[in-house]
A and B are shown apart, each in its own frame.
Chain A
Amino acid sequence: MRRGMTGILCSVMILLAALGVSAAARVGERAPAFSNVGTDGKTYSLDALKGKWVVLEWYNPGCPYTQKHYGSGNIPRLQKEWTAKGVVWLTVSTSAPAEKATAYAKAANAAATAILLDLQATTAMAYAAKTSPHMFVIDPNGVLVYNGAIDDIPSPDPADLAKAKNYVSAALTEGMAGRPITTPTSRPYGCTVKYPSVGSAE
């Protein structure tokens, strides 16, 4: 029985590796490594960001849920607030190419540290990113401390923002104060992240 289970486990791991799906992005464990080129032409890798708090935000300017948080100014406001406190905020696009990704962000007065182009979705795979937005917070030691939704009201309606509890701000506030994070995971909501195998409409 034990040996059977080991065999099954190995098959599952091989299968997952083949699919490129990783269960690696678990809170409390080392965040998966990544290295992507930003729309500014610079390369951003997690290794080089050691010592800093890092936020990853999956982003798709064609998605009504991304539009909720940009059109309302919610994400740009968070980006300004947290980058001012030394946080590295990386917006990740798997579908929108550089020009489109930057044009939309600029029009919304976005203030991320950089917009990363992950058009092969390798970083999305490593993190098992599901939705735009899907948020991850990584501490200065490279440990994942938050994996989930941006807030607790899963709707595309900007009117809900006023009464929503923002999980990313809560995680950063608690984490930077050295306190345990009250809500380290939640179900991300939004449009399904675009992976290249399923086409790239929008």
Chain B
Amino acid sequence: MIRRTRTNRLLAARGLSVVAFCGAAFFVGVPAASAQMRIARADQGSVELIVTRDAAGRGGHIEAGLRFRLQPGWHVYWRNPGDSGGPPTVKWSVPEGVNVGEFSWPTPERIPVGPLVNYGYHGDVVLPFTIRMPAGLRGRSQVITADVRWLVCKDICVPVKSRVALTLPLDAAAQAETPAWTRLIATARQRVPTEAPPNWRATATDAGDAFLLTVTPDQPASGMVNFFPLHESQVEDAAKQVVQRTGARLTLRLEKSAQLAAIPRELTGVLTIGKGRGHIVAAPVQARSLDKKGSSQ
């Protein structure tokens, strides 16, 4: 069987902390016989591959997820980890013709660590993705292998390397679990932010030490407002985001990062309002303006 190896492209495109921990500083012991294990355990939690169904040999899509189950207090990171840390990365090894899609990232939590803030997840978290199976694959079992590098932190950080694999067709034990996995993947998908509706308006202004991000949702919404920047080193993650409301319009004061290299063309991030689903907003950044006639209320 010909195997093909590739790195998750979304992660590879991310720039700085992409290769967050390619190291062998800590290596979770993987005995040779466990090369086919679906789940890998470390002291800080486990990582596993889950799927909604078995489509070996039949072609089509399989909804899948990379699931972390973390010990209390430990967290893994969102695609933008915030002040420190790095997101999980995966190197896939799949049979010829099989395609593994990029992760969808559920809206993270703000995790204060002393005076810093990280973005990430505690507890049981699933990063959903899609596997596309070619129609011709049948007969012998197919193995999808993930070499996962994950940084898991509490008051200390541990870089972990784990190898997990999914064998299709699923064995009986795995088949029996697919209804529960289907629910987990669906729940995770519901927590993935969607593009903001086209009638929302989002703009940003360079206001010296801060960006003023103005978003006008289609209707007034109540609840705590949070902005999670998609890109690192634009916004000071730990700074309080001061929100001003004028009708439906929300204005957030986002302190610039001390590591900001240049004013970006766009501020892109996930906006959450109350307990509602996160929306991805992309706000063009306008040059610094001291006088905005007619904008006073």
* In the complex, B35 has a CB within 8 A of chain A: no
Q: How far is the CA of A197 from the CA of B296 in the complex (A)?
A: 42
* In the complex, B108 has a CB within 8 A of chain A: no
- Whether B255 and A12, one on each chain, are in contact in the complex, defined by CB atoms closer than 8 angstroms, is yes
Interface string of B231-265 (1 = CB under 8 A from A): 01100101110101000000001010011110000
Interface string of B8-28 (1 = CB under 8 A from A): 000000001111111111100
**Among candidates A154, A184, A197, residue contacting B17 with C-beta atoms closer than 8 Å:** A154
* In the complex, B42 has a CB within 8 A of chain A: no
Least distance between B195 CB and chain A CB atoms (Å): 26
Interface string of A18-30 (1 = CB under 8 A from B): 0111010111000
Interface centre among A149, A158, A183, A198 (most CB of B within 10 A): A198
Interface string of B26-41 (1 = CB under 8 A from A): 1000000000000000
Interface string of B253-291 (1 = CB under 8 A from A): 101001111000000000000000000000000000000
* In the complex, B114 has a CB within 8 A of chain A: yes
- Whether B22 and A195, one on each chain, are in contact in the complex, defined by CB atoms closer than 8 angstroms, is no
* In the complex, A63 has a CB within 8 A of chain B: yes
Least distance between A200 CB and chain B CB atoms (Å): 8
Q: How many residues of A contact B (CB 8 A)?
A: 57
- Whether B155 and A201, one on each chain, are in contact in the complex, defined by CB atoms closer than 8 angstroms, is yes
Q: How far is the CA of A183 from the CA of B16 in the complex (A)?
A: 14
Least distance between A127 CB and chain B CB atoms (Å): 9
Cβ–Cβ < 8 Å partners of A73 in chain B: none
Least distance between A102 CB and chain B CB atoms (Å): 21
Interface string of A72-96 (1 = CB under 8 A from B): 0000000000000000000000000
* In the complex, B157 has a CB within 8 A of chain A: yes
Cβ–Cβ < 8 Å partners of A195 in chain B: 113-116
Cβ–Cβ < 8 Å partners of B85 in chain A: 192
**Majority SS at the chain A contact face:** loop
B: contact size bracket: 35 or more
Asked whether A192 and B153 contact (CB < 8 A) given A8-B244, A23-B258, A156-B25, the answer is yes
- Whether A154 and B16, one on each chain, are in contact in the complex, defined by CB atoms closer than 8 angstroms, is yes
Cβ–Cβ < 8 Å partners of B253 in chain A: 5, 8-9, 12
- Whether A192 and B20, one on each chain, are in contact in the complex, defined by CB atoms closer than 8 angstroms, is no
Interface centre among A15, A16, A155, A194 (most CB of B within 10 A): A155
- Chain A stretch 138-159: residues in CB contact (< 8 A) with chain B: 147-149, 152-159
- Chain B stretch 130-165: residues in CB contact (< 8 A) with chain A: 153, 155-159
- Whether A1 and B295, one on each chain, are in contact in the complex, defined by CB atoms closer than 8 angstroms, is yes
Cβ–Cβ < 8 Å partners of B239 in chain A: 12, 16, 21, 23
- Whether B242 and A12, one on each chain, are in contact in the complex, defined by CB atoms closer than 8 angstroms, is yes
- Whether B84 and A189, one on each chain, are in contact in the complex, defined by CB atoms closer than 8 angstroms, is yes
Cβ–Cβ < 8 Å partners of B156 in chain A: 62-63, 191, 201-202
Cβ–Cβ < 8 Å partners of B229 in chain A: none
Interface centre among B209, B242, B259, B296 (most CB of A within 10 A): B259
**Among candidates A20, A23, A64, A183, residue contacting B236 with C-beta atoms closer than 8 Å:** A23
- Whether B157 and A128, one on each chain, are in contact in the complex, defined by CB atoms closer than 8 angstroms, is no
Q: How far is the CA of A27 from the CA of B86 in the complex (A)?
A: 24
- Whether B244 and A157, one on each chain, are in contact in the complex, defined by CB atoms closer than 8 angstroms, is no
**Among candidates A2, A131, A187, residue contacting B233 with C-beta atoms closer than 8 Å:** A187
Least distance between A44 CB and chain B CB atoms (Å): 23
Q: How far is the CA of A62 from the CA of B158 in the complex (A)?
A: 11
Cβ–Cβ < 8 Å partners of A184 in chain B: 261
Least distance between A14 CB and chain B CB atoms (Å): 11
* In the complex, A67 has a CB within 8 A of chain B: yes
Q: How far is the CA of A11 from the CA of B244 in the complex (A)?
A: 13
Least distance between A133 CB and chain B CB atoms (Å): 11
Asked whether A193 and B86 contact (CB < 8 A) given A12-B240, A68-B23, A157-B25, the answer is no
A-B contacts besides A147-B259, A187-B17, A198-B113, 15 pairs, CB < 8 Å: A1-B295, A121-B114, A149-B16, A154-B17, A155-B20, A156-B22, A186-B261, A187-B232, A190-B84, A191-B153, A192-B113, A192-B114, A195-B116, A197-B115, A201-B156
Interface residues of B (CB under 8 A from A): 16-26, 83-86, 113-116, 118, 153, 155-159, 209, 232-233, 236, 238-240, 242, 244, 253, 255, 258-261, 295-297
